[in-house]
């Protein structure tokens, strides 16, 4: 045994007292999980407080004796609560998703699909229109002055007011169902794409444009080989906004039109018949859809950025 | 030394890591006639012929005379430098030759035609101070970009990219993206890009201005070698007197407010020059004359 080992004894070589470490996948998400936890607590407290009078009223009407615990249990298990408790929402959601065949009008999957298809068509139409507008504006400077104010004005009009007009007008010329909803969704989502792409298409350096000129490139070549690739980061930033608001657009379009199917129709039917749990479940479905759509867009963005060799 | 070159032991030894011209004798395609076939300047055709060229910019606080009655003849095969302080119109003159600016008065011919026509016929390659590579394209695809635009078939594009990347000593970097290369390497890639469509005239706007002096010295030597091998006409904008004297056959001294030519100095060193000539008395004499020219144009007043 060397002298230093003797001096330090075993303590140096003994394993350090192991501190507990959370698994990485939890540690990375700890901040957002904390917020979720706080929200759930707030939600439960709100559910208890908001439903209290409702439940107390029911007990008193039936002349039943009740304790505070009964009261609290009642607030979290009401059939038509003012504020549904989180577990009620989740249970209703699971029930509506899994306990009916996907083509049943009671299934949330069915309604989600109806809204999602309108969202997709609207998103594609809106994006295409937004890019087209941006290309026109960048190439014809007069259009920037003449079109841009109208594009901005178009977004100041409350869509809830315009939607019925569009549905009625399109219905009069025989267009019903998916397309009118998609058009309303496209009406909302072309805006961020157009604004983002005007910026993106004008983002190349003056030198990069001068180079194209020295090679006597055609305007189409400049667009295709310089302006469009340069605008890709701007496009994806816009698409993330566009995909969520095209979902909102599709849901809103279902509200004033008396649609029979779709998440918007479920929201409306739920509020007609006081089915709060159904409303909450539909809201949860809409939120999940939005999260998935943004996730897919983010994934596509990372793929494109990698393909284009951008600095990670 | 870049890591890749250590692995490729079969390649010819490189003169310098920042070399512009790969010193191979086995270049299968000579790019143009060598120095032997060059004739005296007065018997060569004019690459640039400017007569009374003026250019006035309208700015918010009045007119700025960027160029005032510029007369200049550049013979094909010459290496001509524009030197002067900032604002003397040297870049503007280069841009007029490239048809990136239009003169407000006077006439100018490039390779015997108007600048506009020369540009449409792709008579010249332009190299800017910044490499301006397209960041989403690999080095190889950056070099092939002008060829794509000019409609050259894919196979030929690939062959030319390989040839000119080898010429600027960048073989092995084809699949790298611009941000993975140093500033000097990026500028060499941009030179390869300008050479790829084989223009007879190279317009270079302070191409090495943003690089450090060590890299710049190497690139100067290699640019000279390239010019000597290819017999191209080079018009070179700089604000460095040693760079201008070292590179040029003709130095055009310019002065600001209004932008004009003060002096045109012939610089008749042998075509094969090394950096050592910068210490010779002849070199210093020409440098002195350039400095005198700049002073007479009040370039040192401020």
CB-CB neighbors (< 8 A) of B100 in chain A: 210, 213-214
DSSP track, A16-78: PPPPP---HHHHHHHHHHHHHHHHHHHHHHHHHHHHHHHHHHHHHHTT----HHHHHHHHTS-
Last residue of a domain, one of A80, A96, A120: A80
The answer to whether residue B187 neighbours chain A at the CB level (below 8 Å) is no
Per-residue confidence of chain B (302 residues) as pLDDT tens digits? 343 333 333 334 344 444 455 444 334 444 444 444 556 666 778 888 888 888 888 888 778 888 888 888 888 888 999 998 888 888 888 999 988 988 888 888 888 888 888 888 888 899 998 999 999 999 999 999 999 999 889 999 999 999 989 888 888 998 999 999 988 899 989 999 998 988 889 999 988 887 888 888 888 888 888 888 888 899 999 988 888 888 888 889 888 888 888 888 888 777 777 787 888 888 888 888 888 888 877 655 55
Residues A177 and A271 in one domain: yes
Domain count, chain A: 2
Give the C-alpha separation, A284 to A287, whole Å: 5
Distance, C-alpha B85 to centroid of its chain: 18
Residue of chain B whose Cα is closest to the Cα of A220 = B149
The answer to whether residue A13 neighbours chain B at the CB level (below 8 Å) is no
Architecture category of domain B44-108+219-302 in CATH: 3-Layer(aba) Sandwich (3.40)
The answer to whether residue B145 neighbours chain A at the CB level (below 8 Å) is yes
Answer yes or no: is A209 within a domain. Answer: yes
Residue among A234, A136, A116, A270 nearest A185 (CA): A116
Give the C-alpha separation, B32 to A291, whole Å: 61
Closest-CA distance, A128 to chain B, in angstroms, reads: 23
Residues composing chain B: 302
Q: Measured between CB atoms, which of B119, B132, B177 is closest to A309?
A: B177
Distance, C-alpha B62 to centroid of its chain: 33
Closest-CA distance, A221 to chain B, in angstroms, reads: 7
Residue of chain A whose Cα is closest to the Cα of B124 = A214
Give the containing element (helix H, strand E) for A165. helix A159-172
Answer yes or no: is A2 within a domain. Answer: no
Residues composing chain A: 312
Q: What's residue A54's pLDDT?
A: 84
Residue among B229, B169, B233 nearest B200 (CA): B233
CB-CB neighbors (< 8 A) of A228 in chain B: none
Give the C-alpha separation, B253 to B75, whole Å: 17
Residue of chain B whose Cα is closest to the Cα of A227 = B134
Answer yes or no: is A86 within a domain. Answer: no
Domain that holds residue A65: 17-80
Residues A134 and A281 in one domain: yes
Give the C-alpha separation, A157 to B13, whole Å: 70
What value of ipTM does the predicted structure carry?
0.80
Closest-CA distance, A211 to chain B, in angstroms, reads: 7
Closest-CA distance, A227 to chain B, in angstroms, reads: 11
Q: What's residue A8's pLDDT?
A: 53
Q: Using the beta-carbon criterion (under 8 Å), do A211 and B119 form an inter-chain contact?
A: no
Q: What's residue A23's pLDDT?
A: 84
With vertex at residue A148, the alpha carbon angle to CA A142 and CA A152, rounded to the nearest 5 degrees, is: 170
Q: At CB < 8 A and 24+ separation, what contacts does B170-175 make?
A: B170/B139, B171/B11, B171/B22, B172/B2, B172/B4, B172/B5, B172/B8, B173/B4, B173/B139, B174/B138, B174/B139, B174/B140, B175/B138, B175/B139, B175/B140
Give the C-alpha separation, A143 to A138, whole Å: 8
The answer to whether residue B100 neighbours chain A at the CB level (below 8 Å) is yes
The answer to whether residue B98 neighbours chain A at the CB level (below 8 Å) is yes
**Tokens in use for A266?**
């479920």
CB-CB neighbors (< 8 A) of B130 in chain A: 205, 207
Answer yes or no: is A90 within a domain. Answer: no
Last residue of a domain, one of A64, A80, A96: A80
Helix or strand or coil: residue B100?
Answer: coil
Residue of chain B whose Cα is closest to the Cα of A226 = B134
Higher pLDDT, B10 or A222: A222
Answer yes or no: is A10 within a domain. Answer: no
Residues A193 and A299 in one domain: yes
Q: What is the mean pLDDT of chain A?
A: 86
Q: What's residue A242's pLDDT?
A: 94
Residues A260 and A126 in one domain: yes
The number of helices, as runs of H, and strands, as runs of E, in chain B is 9, 9
Pair type for strands B201-205 and B124-127: parallel
Last residue of a domain, one of A61, A80, A99: A80
Give the C-alpha separation, B121 to B44, whole Å: 21
Residue A246 clears pLDDT 60, i.e. is over it: yes
Residue of chain A whose Cα is closest to the Cα of B100 = A210
Q: What's residue A1's pLDDT?
A: 46
At A162, which CATH number? 1.10.3720.10
Residues A126 and A70 in one domain: no
Residues A35 and A147 in one domain: no
Closest-CA distance, A297 to chain B, in angstroms, reads: 20
Residues A57 and A148 in one domain: no
* Confidence band of A189 (pLDDT split at 50, 70, 90): very high
pTM of the predicted structure, to 2 decimals: 0.78
φ and ψ of A219, to 5 deg: -55, -35
Answer yes or no: is A85 within a domain. Answer: no
CB-CB neighbors (< 8 A) of A309 in chain B: 135-138, 177
Residues 6+ apart with CB under 8 A from B174: B138, B139, B140, B161, B162, B165
């Amino acid at each position: 045994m060397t002298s230093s080992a003797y001096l330090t004894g075993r303590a140096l070589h003994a394993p350090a007292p192991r501190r507990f470490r959370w698994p990485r996948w939890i540690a990375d998400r700890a901040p957002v999980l904390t917020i979720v936890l706080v929200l759930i607590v707030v939600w439960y407290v709100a559910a208890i407080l908001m439903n209290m009078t409702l439940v107390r009223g029911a007990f008193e009407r039936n002349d039943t004796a009740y304790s505070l615990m009964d009261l609290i249990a009642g607030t979290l298990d009401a059939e038509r609560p003012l504020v549904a408790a989180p577990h009620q929402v989740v249970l209703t959601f699971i029930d509506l998703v899994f306990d009916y065949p996907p083509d049943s009008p009671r299934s949330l999957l069915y309604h989600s699909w109806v809204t999602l298809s309108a969202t997709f068509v609207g998103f594609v139409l809106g994006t295409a229109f937004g890019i087209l507008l941006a290309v026109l504006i960048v190439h014809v400077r007069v259009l920037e002055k003449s079109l841009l104010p109208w594009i901005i004005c178009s977004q100041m009009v409350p869509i809830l007011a315009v939607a019925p007009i569009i549905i009625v007008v399109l219905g009069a010329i025989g267009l019903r169902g998916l397309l009118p909803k998609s058009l309303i969704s496209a009406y909302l989502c072309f805006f961020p794409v157009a604004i983002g792409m005007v910026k993106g298409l004008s983002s190349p350096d003056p030198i990069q444009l001068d180079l194209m000129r020295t090679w006597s490139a055609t305007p189409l070549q400049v667009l295709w080989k310089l302006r469009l690739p340069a605008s890709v980061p701007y496009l994806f930033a816009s698409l993330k906004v566009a995909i969520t608001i095209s979902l909102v657009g599709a849901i809103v379009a279902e509200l004033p039109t008396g649609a029979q199917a779709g998440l918007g129709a479920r929201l409306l039917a739920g509020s007609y018949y006081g089915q709060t749990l159904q409303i909450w479940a539909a809201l949860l479905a809409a939120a999940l859809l939005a999260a998935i759509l943004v996730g897919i867009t983010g994934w596509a963005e990372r793929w494109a950025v990698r393909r284009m060799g951008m600095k990670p | 030394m870049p890591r890749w070159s250590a692995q490729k032991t079969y390649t010819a030894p490189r003169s310098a890591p920042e070399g512009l011209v790969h010193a191979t004798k086995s270049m299968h395609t000579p790019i143009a006639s060598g120095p032997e076939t060059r004739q005296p300047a007065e018997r060569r055709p004019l690459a640039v012929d400017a007569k009374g060229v003026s250019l006035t910019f309208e700015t918010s606080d009045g007119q700025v005379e960027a160029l005032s009655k510029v007369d200049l003849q550049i013979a094909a095969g010459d290496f001509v430098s524009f030197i002067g302080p900032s604002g003397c119109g040297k870049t503007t003159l280069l841009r007029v030759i490239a048809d990136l600016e239009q003169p407000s008065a006077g006439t100018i011919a490039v390779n015997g035609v108007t600048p506009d026509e020369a540009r449409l016929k792709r008579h010249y390659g332009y190299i800017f101070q910044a490499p301006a590579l397209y960041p989403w394209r690999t080095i190889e695809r950056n070099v092939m970009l002008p060829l794509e635009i000019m409609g050259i078939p894919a196979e030929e594009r690939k062959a030319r990219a390989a040839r000119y990347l080898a010429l600027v000593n960048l073989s092995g970097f084809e699949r790298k993206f611009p941000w993975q290369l140093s500033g000097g390497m990026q500028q060499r890639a941009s030179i390869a890009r300008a050479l790829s469509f084989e223009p007879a005239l190279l317009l270079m706007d302070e191409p090495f201005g943003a690089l450090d002096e060590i890299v710049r010295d190497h690139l100067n030597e290699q640019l000279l070698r390239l010019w000597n091998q290819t017999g191209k006409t080079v018009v070179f904008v700089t604000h460095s007197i040693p760079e201008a004297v070292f590179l040029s056959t003709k130095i055009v001294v310019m002065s600001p407010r209004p932008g004009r030519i003060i002096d045109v100095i012939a610089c008749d060193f042998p075509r094969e020059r090394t950096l050592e000539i910068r210490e010779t008395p002849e070199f210093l004499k020409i440098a002195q004359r350039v400095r005198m020219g700049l002073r007479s144009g009040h370039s040192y007043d401020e």
